[in-house]
Structure 1
Amino acid sequence: MASTPLDLVLVSTPIGYLGSGRGGGVELTITSLLRGLGQRGHHMHLVAPEGSRLPEGCEQVHLHPVAGEDQPSWQHADPDGPVLIPSQGVLPKLWERALDLASTADAVLNFGYDWLPLWLTPRQHQPIFHLVSMGSVARVIDALLLDLARWDQRRLAFHSRRQADDFGLPNPPVVVGNGFDLSRYALQVQTGGPLGWAGRVAPEKGLEDAVSVAARLGEPLLVWGLVEDPAYAARVEAAAPAGTIQWRGFLPTTALQKELGGCRALINTPKWNEAYGNVVVEALACGVPVIAYDRGGPGELVQHGVTGWLVPPDDCDGLLAAVQQLDAIDRNACRHWVECHASQAIFAERVERWISRGLAPGDGSISTCP
């Protein structure tokens, strides 16, 4: 329980309603914090696109649904492209509502990776904090993040150090990781089972590399996640022997962890600088070793030779060799790492500490004037 409960306004991603799966890992992050901060006694309002649902166990949170058109994702935009906001876009409407609520709140916590909330931050009396969800994908965002860091870097936190390194920050970053409700993940200690892969099915996730490993082994690969790019998914499937990919779809946590926990390994093959790697931790929570490219957040999450194996980026031969060393991994060690480093409670405490320190008087724009 926090010594001084905070009144917080949380602003969800503008890329799909909460529960749609379109927000990717941000949805899991929001759910974890709603539960974790609630258990610590904080009072929360959640501003989210219309259609959003409060997760189970978050009945004390006040939900404020906002209608509007989804915001285009920066993830797939031209890195040198302009800022685009649809004429009926939900993004500015989310922030109109959030700033209204913020007049009686201690702070606003933003989860959307976009230009508008970053631009608003130094121009508002209400303190706005940003849990940055991606690495560098657009120069206009990079420049704005750096300007904000120079103004008051206490407003920013990141999921991993490798993610933060993308932005050339003037000071060491606040790194909060992520958190998981471990009561929802069952440890499965059997060592057999198929290989698995999980994530949004899109080119930057590198599904084709995991498929190639399964094909060389002559066995199926179970694939979970939202098919964000159907043309890409079709190309990957067509390039592999028939039946290699077993599409499992986008599943809620209860169903996902049950199936994923039966795998002998999760293969994680990002082609970009992943901010964290939620599916890596979800697998480890089930006792499933992870074989991952040593790139971005997964390179900080997997303990080489203890909870899985790290492979040089884009090295499919290395992935294959690692599959053949899985017997050396103790599945209990995988679960133990998550309990020590990525529980919902630990994550909520880190975020609480970050915001509380940012609100405290001292150097920076949030401090009260003498």
Structure 2
Amino acid sequence: MRALRVALIASSRYPVNQPFAGGLEAHVWHLAAALRNAGHSVTLFAGPGSDPELDCELIDVRPAPLSTAARTDISMPAEHFMQEHHAYLDLMLRLSRNYADSFDVIHNHSLHYLPVAMTSTLNTPVLTTLHTPPTPWLESAIAAGSSPGRFAAVSNFTAEAWKHAAGDVDVVHNGVDTDHWRQGPGGQRLIWFGRIVPEKGAHHAIAAARAAGMPLVLAGPISDHAYFSEWIEPELGNSVDYLGHLVTDDLVTAVGNSAVALVTPQWDEPYGLVVAESLACGTPVAAYGRGGIPEILTPDCGRLVPADDVRALTAAIGEARQLDRASARARALSHCSQRRMVDRYIELYDEMACSVTTSSRRAS
């Protein structure tokens, strides 16, 4: 397969760099690195502070050049909205002018509406990966765009959720680098990791660990300080410890040294990257069966329980810790590997690039 010139558009809100703010940033970082390692040319459009080792172009989020009269107008939205709007408008105009013939395909991972709404202004085919449930701004962009591009979703669940707006959507499950996320020996404790926000439900993991009589460690960025102060911090100590926001190497060690990973979403997870990462470390998972998680977890590597059922989660801990760690690792290798994901994306890129070449030949 020929080498391709790929542009990746990331979210502007957080840098694509370690320690990652969330699964989206980790996903884009690993995808960029894997594509480069496979011999493709990759340019990453990302927010300030992104990894300098990647070939990055800045999504320049800064105060929009507005007059005092415009800022004081009754229709003026929140400042952060205008900053993001201006940054993505500038990016899409650059892609249509300065980079008109620079890429074979543009792969959009941002959650902003403008890359979709302005796809028809580009000569380059655009693939947008849907990482979230339907949002009003993105649905509107799809409906308004005369040619909004092609869409992929991170799970069958997410593809089905978007079908009414985006039609038939390709499914490319997120993958993890199973060379980096290596199998660990396990241990006598539980682990919960991810962004510390209400919708991730770390307080449920604490309640289940206490009920099971097992120590628990938490890891991840404190993205909602009020939630952390009210629900998490008072529970620390007495066999519950917060390890902080870890870089990947330290997180791999922490997960690999744990008996079971707890996954407690309070919303329908579009995919469930922490499940895949845990399995790659050989760590079985006890999880609420929401969103895309049931597509990853099978009975030989974890247990699914009804959402918000702490008692069922507690019972699942005892069952999950008896599971074979090699089976958890095998599931990650067969279903959740980065290689599998990247190969599928390259197939889509090549198909889209060839389609444009064929159309150009017909037009001439």
Q: TM-score range by the shorter chain?
A: 0.7 to 0.9
| Counterpart for residue 249 of structure 2 | 254
Count of matched residue pairs: 348
CA contact (8 A) 1:290 1:309 kept: yes
- What is the CA-CA distance between 1:277 and the residue it aligns to? 1.4
| 2:137 equivalent among 130, 133, 140 | 140
CA contact (8 A) 2:194 2:200 kept: yes
CA contact (8 A) 2:130 2:154 kept: yes
- What is the CA-CA distance between 1:22 and the residue it aligns to? 6.3
Measured against aligned partners, the alpha-carbon deviations of 1:299-326 in whole angstroms (never above 9, x if no partner) come to 21111x2110011111111101101112
Distance 2:93 2:123 in 1: 14
TM-score by length of 2: 0.86
Distance 1:87 1:10 in 2: 17
| 1:334 equivalent among 328, 334, 343 | 328
CA contact (8 A) 1:237 1:245 kept: no
CA contact (8 A) 2:212 2:317 kept: no
| Counterpart for residue 202 of structure 2 | 207
* Residues 366/234 of structure 1: CA separation in 2 closer, same or farther (3 Å cut): farther
Measured against aligned partners, the alpha-carbon deviations of 1:174-230 in whole angstroms (never above 9, x if no partner) come to 11111222221221244x321110111111111111111122234432111110001
- Counting only pairs closer than 5 Å after superposition, residues 317-356 of structure 1 correspond to structure 2 as 317-356=311-350
Distance 1:282 1:301 in 2: 11
* Residues 151/17 of structure 1: CA separation in 2 closer, same or farther (3 Å cut): same
CA contact (8 A) 2:209 2:215 kept: yes
* Residues 19/367 of structure 1: CA separation in 2 closer, same or farther (3 Å cut): farther
Distance 1:196 1:338 in 2: 18
Measured against aligned partners, the alpha-carbon deviations of 1:94-134 in whole angstroms (never above 9, x if no partner) come to 43444422432111111101111111112333222111221
CA contact (8 A) 1:133 1:275 kept: yes
> Over aligned residue pairs, what C-alpha RMSD do you find?
2.9
- What is the CA-CA distance between 1:262 and the residue it aligns to? 0.8
Q: Counterpart of 2:181 in structure 1: which amino acid?
A: Y
Is 2:64 the partner of 1:67?
no
- Counting only pairs closer than 5 Å after superposition, residues 84-103 of structure 1 correspond to structure 2 as 84-86=81-83, 89-99=86-96, 100-103=98-101
Distance 2:290 2:212 in 1: 24
Is 2:291 the partner of 1:293?
no
| Counterpart for residue 68 of structure 2 | none
Distance 1:155 1:227 in 2: 34
CA contact (8 A) 1:205 1:270 kept: yes
Q: What stretches of structure 2 of length at least 5 have no aligned partner?
A: 65-76
CA contact (8 A) 1:16 1:49 kept: yes
| Counterpart for residue 352 of structure 2 | 358
CA contact (8 A) 2:14 2:25 kept: no
CA contact (8 A) 1:289 1:326 kept: yes
TM-score by length of 1: 0.84
Distance 1:22 1:182 in 2: 18
- What is the CA-CA distance between 1:354 and the residue it aligns to? 1.6
| Counterpart for residue 38 of structure 2 | 40
| 1:116 equivalent among 114, 119, 138 | 114
Q: Counterpart of 2:156 in structure 1: which amino acid?
A: R
Q: What stretches of structure 1 of length at least 5 have no aligned partner?
A: 56-60, 72-80
CA contact (8 A) 2:194 2:219 kept: yes
Distance 1:186 1:22 in 2: 18
* Residues 66/358 of structure 1: CA separation in 2 closer, same or farther (3 Å cut): closer
Distance 1:118 1:252 in 2: 32
Identity percentage of aligned residues = 26
Is 2:184 the partner of 1:188?
yes
19-28 or 177-186: bigger deviation: 19-28
Measured against aligned partners, the alpha-carbon deviations of 1:12-64 in whole angstroms (never above 9, x if no partner) come to 21112221656511122112211222232211111222221145xxxxx5322
CA contact (8 A) 2:105 2:352 kept: no
